[in-house]
């Protein structure tokens, strides 16, 4: 068994090296046989990488502690599902998982006949092999999870996985993120193939739309799940802290989102060609940069992985790929010239342009903030850092601009919008939004950003509502017999790409409301309660009814039973049971928060410990009956809507993805591109 | 030339630059080491200190009159002299001797008064090598050792 995993790994990267060599030669000489053999090597490489990770999974499930990595991240008492998720419990396995998912994306490119030209297609196999191969080689030589425990002895039991990582969201959050990160290799590969082959029509963009959306969807879900994990598991009442690791996943999300929008401008107007090339490559580079950031120790993070030398290899890789891209852009400069110019700021292409600038602005400021220690040291010789206040101060205005553009973009006309149409479309949503802003300013004049954010969210919701009403009305004028829900269904069904986009925007607006509410109106209290004592927090009356201790195989739990009554008349609303666990195997203490979720607000209870100091002269056992419990109480208004908004975003992404399954729009856009392509060729 | 496009890019870049410049100058904190703090003495402006909780030292947590955590930290790369950190707030689960922390606060010549205390997160967690001391050893029954040390201070 020992060598199946390692052998597969080595074979996989061997195949990817062959894929690069044979593929490039084949593409340069247009030798179809060589290209085909390179494609076969891509598939074989995927099979061998899969075999390698399956071998690692078997090693974990079979408690094979000959492997250092298995010994470090699991033990005999862990349940099977956590044994499998322990694969990505550390860096070595995470890198392997990364390479495996990337190879799957690589293979998926060749599973269906592509609509791109042969000259472009020929370059895909070597580029995808180079992408996957780089990570496989890193796994083999620098972070090999199949390294054996030194000395040849096999320890009877393992070290165990960090209990904080033994959580259902941690089983799916890392694979989701990696599926998001690695998926951006596909648009990047098509883009480089287009540059290399000179096939620079927008066919490479159309061909990769599905992968881009899938990658974007996974990344979005991964980020939201990460926030959800932090919220539930870490006990500090929040979901986002602008930590370097979070930022590392956020950077490619921002450029990926910008890319999803800017490609529409190229498809429709033949503009922003260089921009799209830059975004496609940058997004992929930023996923690698994130890996560099978390592995190199260049930034101080509460979250960073163990510092290793691996990081610098990533930086080198980024440097090489960026240099190649810049050279290729220079080489193809003439062919990348825009077919049209921006005619008016009151047009959809302008809205998308500003949306891109805002997203890139957030991306740049976040990047700046993360690397601020390095920049400041280089400039002034003194190292300084910036934290959440910096990110909020810079990014909130940009987020507000984005919200506004999210309402404007989908409804404004291409090319040039006339005044009358603008007034007709936007006057009502603008009035609705302004009223909300004024009301919130009147309620609390100090919370200006929050009032604007609420107003703009309502503006977006109102534009979506107006669009749906207009579409349903238009349809019912044609088909009077149709019911309103029936018409709505037909409208959406016929153009899932457009209305899926609206669904995503709806979800984002809902999330914006929730984030604003919890940022501006969160209540936080530290309380100390003896048994039977009560305290009032917000609309609740909390009474500590019982404090107990329970012993389990793996940990000892300190448990509290808290009665939740309404603050008005103390009528019973329910009981909450926050816990604190002390794990035996690795001395970790974790807080198991309890949540009472209502549409209006979350009541969030974290048991912080025992107030032993209130007890006189206790050196032996703690008398739980006489010891007050320390608790952190948070009231997070509208919190549940953040997760609900995330679900809407996912549904919307799914709707956009099924475009083409039963609609005629795809055919129509293809037709349009053919027509435009011809005119472009003439010009 | 596409003047409208360049004007838009130019304006947005200008606004962004101004936002970044004002936010970095108003929120940036200098990074210092324990050795530097001791050398400079009193620090009025808030700074950031990345340090390690001294091995085998006691972490005190008292709740009267306010929740306060007190512990000794030293430099990570070059452990020498240590200073005492006073942090008002709850004891974080992950704060333990030997752990790395990131603190923000001021120094009054005696204590580092932290207004923010972050301990390294679990993904940083580097597993021990096989053959090292049994990780379970020396643990108290409940795992809530720091509370007892709190009791010793006040009891």
DSSP for A30-85?
A: T-HHHHHHHHHHHHHHHHHHHHHHHHHHHHHHTT-TTBHHHHHH--TTS-HHHHHH
Judge if A235 and A367 occupy the same domain: yes
* Cα Rg of chain A, angstroms: 28
User: Looking at the partner chain, which of A165, A365, A387 has a beta carbon nearest the beta carbon of B27?
Assistant: A387
- Could you read off the pLDDT of B22-37 as tens digits, one per residue? 998 888 999 888 998 9
Give the C-alpha separation, A517 to A513, whole Å.
Answer: 6
Output the pLDDT for position A539: 93
Q: Cβ B127–A72 below 8 Å, yes or no? A: yes
Residues in B closer than 8 angstroms to A345, CB to CB, are 4, 8
Q: Cβ A589–B141 below 8 Å, yes or no? A: no
Report how many domains make up chain A. 3
Q: Is A526 on the interface with B (CB under 8 A)?
A: yes
Give the C-alpha separation, A6 to A2, whole Å.
Answer: 8
| B145 pLDDT above the threshold of 70 | no
Q: Classify residue A340: in a domain, yes or no.
A: no
Could you tell me if B54 and A408 are in contact, meaning their C-beta atoms sit under 8 angstroms apart? no
CB atoms within 10 A of CB A478: 8
Chain B residue closest in CA terms to A616: B155
Which domain-ending residue is among A135, A164, A193? A164
Q: Is A345 on the interface with B (CB under 8 A)?
A: yes
Q: Which domain holds residue A293?
A: 167-334+351-382
- Could you read off the pLDDT of A590-636 as tens digits, one per residue? 888 999 999 999 999 999 888 766 554 444 456 777 788 889 999 99
By the 10 Å C-beta count (0-12 exposed, 13-18 middle, 19+ buried), A271 is classed as: buried
Give the C-alpha separation, A56 to A4, whole Å.
Answer: 9
Judge if A181 and A149 occupy the same domain: no
Question: Shortest CA distance to B148 belongs to which of A585, A606, A589, A617?
Answer: A617
DSSP-assigned letters across all residues of B19-42: HHHHHHHHH-EEEE-HHHHHHH--
Could you tell me if B53 and B71 are in contact, meaning their C-beta atoms sit under 8 angstroms apart? yes
Q: How wide is the angle at C-alpha A384 spanned by C-alphas A380 and A389, nearest 5°?
A: 135
Output the pLDDT for position A304: 47
Residues in A closer than 8 angstroms to B76, CB to CB, are none
Could you tell me if A450 and A400 are in contact, meaning their C-beta atoms sit under 8 angstroms apart? no
Judge if A109 and A129 occupy the same domain: yes
Q: Classify residue A661: in a domain, yes or no.
A: no
What is the distance, to the nearest Å, from the Cα of residue A331 to the centroid of all Cα atoms in its chain? 34
- For A504, the token pair is 């995503």
Judge if A136 and A31 occupy the same domain: yes
Q: How far B4 CA sits from the closest chain A CA (Å)?
A: 6
- Could you read off the pLDDT of B29-79 as tens digits, one per residue? 998 889 989 988 888 888 999 889 998 888 888 877 788 899 999 988 888
Residues in B closer than 8 angstroms to A162, CB to CB, are 122-123, 125
Interface-testing mutation among B2, B6, B16, B119, with chain A (most A C-beta atoms within 10 A): B16
Q: Where do runs of H (alpha helix) occur along A86-202?
A: 91-109, 118-141, 168-183, 185-197
Q: Is A400 on the interface with B (CB under 8 A)?
A: no
Output the pLDDT for position A296: 63
Give the C-alpha separation, A253 to A362, whole Å.
Answer: 11
Q: How far A553 CA sits from the closest chain B CA (Å)?
A: 13
Q: Classify residue A65: in a domain, yes or no.
A: yes
Mark the ranges of chain A whose per-residue pLDDT is less than 50: 1, 304, 616-620, 662-668, 670-683
Output the pLDDT for position A300: 58
Q: How far B48 CA sits from the closest chain A CA (Å)?
A: 8
Judge if A115 and A240 occupy the same domain: no
| B140 pLDDT above the threshold of 80 | no
Q: Which residues pair with A602 in a beta bridge?
A: A597, A636
Judge if A115 and A137 occupy the same domain: yes
Which domain-ending residue is among A164, A191, A216? A164
Output the pLDDT for position A586: 63
Judge if A158 and A184 occupy the same domain: no
- For A32, the token pair is 């179809």
| B152 pLDDT above the threshold of 60 | no
Judge if A98 and A52 occupy the same domain: yes
Ranges assigned E (strand) in A492-638: 523-529, 534-537, 540-551, 555-566, 572-576, 579-583, 589-592, 594-597, 601-610, 629-637
What percent of chain A clears pLDDT 90, i.e. is strictly above it? Answer: 55
Judge if A115 and A173 occupy the same domain: no
CATH code reported for the domain at B33-127+143-155: 2.40.50.140
By the 10 Å C-beta count (0-12 exposed, 13-18 middle, 19+ buried), B44 is classed as: exposed
Q: Classify residue A452: in a domain, yes or no.
A: no
Q: How many CA atoms lie within 13 A of A647 on its CB side?
A: 5
Judge if A156 and A204 occupy the same domain: no
Judge if A218 and A90 occupy the same domain: no
DSSP-assigned letters across all residues of A308-373: -SHHHHHHHHHHHHHHHHHHHHHHTGGGG--SS----SSSHHHHHHHHHHHHHHHHHHHHHHHHHH
- For A650, the token pair is 């996912």
Could you tell me if A596 and A640 are in contact, meaning their C-beta atoms sit under 8 angstroms apart? no
A404: which residues sit within 8 A by CB, 6+ positions away? A456, A459
Q: Cβ A390–B24 below 8 Å, yes or no? A: yes
Judge if A128 and A211 occupy the same domain: no
Output the pLDDT for position A622: 66
Q: How far B137 CA sits from the closest chain A CA (Å)?
A: 9
Q: Cβ A556–B143 below 8 Å, yes or no? A: yes
By the 10 Å C-beta count (0-12 exposed, 13-18 middle, 19+ buried), A522 is classed as: middle
Q: Classify residue A662: in a domain, yes or no.
A: no
Instruction: Quote the ipTM score.
Output: 0.79
Q: What DSSP designation does A627 have?
A: -
Buried b (16+ CB within 10 A) or exposed e, A417-440: beeeeeeebbeebbebbeebbeeb
Give the C-alpha separation, A530 to A542, whole Å.
Answer: 11
Q: Cβ A303–B131 below 8 Å, yes or no? A: no
Q: Classify residue A470: in a domain, yes or no.
A: no
Give the C-alpha separation, B39 to A309, whole Å.
Answer: 32
User: Looking at the partner chain, which of A344, A357, A372 has a beta carbon nearest the beta carbon of B24?
Assistant: A372
Question: Shortest CA distance to A488 belongs to which of A499, A497, B39, A25?
Answer: A499
């Amino acid at each position: 068994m020992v060598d199946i995993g390692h052998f597969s790994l080595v074979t996989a990267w061997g195949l990817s090296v062959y894929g690069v060599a044979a593929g490039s030669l084949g593409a340069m000489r247009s030798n179809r046989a060589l290209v085909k053999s390179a494609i076969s090597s891509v598939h074989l490489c995927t099979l061998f990488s899969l075999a390698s990770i399956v071998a690692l999974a078997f090693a974990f499930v079979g408690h094979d502690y000959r492997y250092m990595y298995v010994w470090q991240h699991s033990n005999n008492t862990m349940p099977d599902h956590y044994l499998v998720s322990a694969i990505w419990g550390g860096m070595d396995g995470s890198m392997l998982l990364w390479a495996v998912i990337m190879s799957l994306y690589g293979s998926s490119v060749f599973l269906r006949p592509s609509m791109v030209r042969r000259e472009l297609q020929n370059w895909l196999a070597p580029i995808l092999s180079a992408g996957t191969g780089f990570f496989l080689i890193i796994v083999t030589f620098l972070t090999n999870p199949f390294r054996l425990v030194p000395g040849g002895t096999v320890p009877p039991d393992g070290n165990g996985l960090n209990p904080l990582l033994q959580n259902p969201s941690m089983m799916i959050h890392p694979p989701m993120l990696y599926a998001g990160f690695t998926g951006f290799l596909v648009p990047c590969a098509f883009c480089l193939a287009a540059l290399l082959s000179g096939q620079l029509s927008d066919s490479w963009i159309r061909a990769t739309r599905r992968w881009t959306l899938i990658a974007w969807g996974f990344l979005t879900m991964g980020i939201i799940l990460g926030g959800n994990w932090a919220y539930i598991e870490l006990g500090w009442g929040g979901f986002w802290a602008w930590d370097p690791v979070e930022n590392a996943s956020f950077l490619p999300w921002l450029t990926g989102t910008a890319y999803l929008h800017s490609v529409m401008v190229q498809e429709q107007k033949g503009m922003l060609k260089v921009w799209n090339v830059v975004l496609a490559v940058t997004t992929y580079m930023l996923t690698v940069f994130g890996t560099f950031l978390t592995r190199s120790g260049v930034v101080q993070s509460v979250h960073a992985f163990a510092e290793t030398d691996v990081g610098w290899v990533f930086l080198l890789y980024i440097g090489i790929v960026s240099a190649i891209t810049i050279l290729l852009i220079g080489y193809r400069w003439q062919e990348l010239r825009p077919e049209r110019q921006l005619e008016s700021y009151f047009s959809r292409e302008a809205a998308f342009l500003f949306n891109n600038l805002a997203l890139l602005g957030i991306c740049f400021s976040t990047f700046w903030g993360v690397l601020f220690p390095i920049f400041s040291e280089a400039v002034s010789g003194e190292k300084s850092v910036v934290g959440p206040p910096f990110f909020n101060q810079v990014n909130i205005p940009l987020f507000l601009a984005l919200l506004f553009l999210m309402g404007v973009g989908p409804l404004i006309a291409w090319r040039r919008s006339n005044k009358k149409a603008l007034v007709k479309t936007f006057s009502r949503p603008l009035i609705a939004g302004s009223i909300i802003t004024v009301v919130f300013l009147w309620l609390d004049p100090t919370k200006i950003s929050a009032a604007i954010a609420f107003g703009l969210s309502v503006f977006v919701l109102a534009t979506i509502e107006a669009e749906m009403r207009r579409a349903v009305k238009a349809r019912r004028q044609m088909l009077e017999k149709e019911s309103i829900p029936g018409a709505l269904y037909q409208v959406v069904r016929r153009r899932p790409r457009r209305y899926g986009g609206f669904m995503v925007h709806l979800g984002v607006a809902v999330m914006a409301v929730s984030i604003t509410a919890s940022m501006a109106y969160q209540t936080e209290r530290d309380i100390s309660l003896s048994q039977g004592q009560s305290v009032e927090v917000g609309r609740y009356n909390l009474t500590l009814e019982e404090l107990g201790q329970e012993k389990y195989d793996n940990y000892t739990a300190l448990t509290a039973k808290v009665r939740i009554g309404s603050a008005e008349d103390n009528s019973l609303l329910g009981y909450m049971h926050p816990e604190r666990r002390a794990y035996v195997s690795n001395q970790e203490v974790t807080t198991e928060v309890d949540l009472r979720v209502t549409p209006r607000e979350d009541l969030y209870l974290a048991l912080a410990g025992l107030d032993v100091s209130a007890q006189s002269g206790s050196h032996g056992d703690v008398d739980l009956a006489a010891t007050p419990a320390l608790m952190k109480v948070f009231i997070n208004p509208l919190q549940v809507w953040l997760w609900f908004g995330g679900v809407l975003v996912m549904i919307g992404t799914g709707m956009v993805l099924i475009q083409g399954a039963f609609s005629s729009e795809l055919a129509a856009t293809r037709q349009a591109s053919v027509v435009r392509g011809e005119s472009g060729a003439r010009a | 030339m596409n003047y409208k496009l360049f004007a838009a890019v130019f304006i947005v870049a200008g606004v962004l630059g101004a936002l970044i410049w004002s936010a970095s100058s108003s929120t940036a904190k200098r990074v210092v080491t324990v050795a530097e703090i001791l050398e400079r003495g009193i620090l009025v402006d808030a700074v950031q200190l990345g340090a390690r909780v001294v091995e085998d030292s006691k972490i005190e947590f008292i709740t009267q009159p306010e929740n306060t955590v007190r512990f000794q930290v030293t430099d990570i790369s070059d452990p020498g002299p240590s200073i005492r950190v006073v942090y008002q707030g709850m004891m974080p689960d992950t704060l333990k001797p030997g752990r790395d922390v990131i603190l923000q606060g001021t120094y009054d010549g005696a204590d580092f008064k932290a207004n923010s205390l972050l301990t390294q997160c679990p993904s940083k967690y580097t597993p021990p090598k096989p053959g090292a001391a049994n990780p379970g050893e020396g643990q108290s029954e409940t795992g809530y050792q720091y509370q007892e040390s709190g009791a010793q201070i006040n009891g």
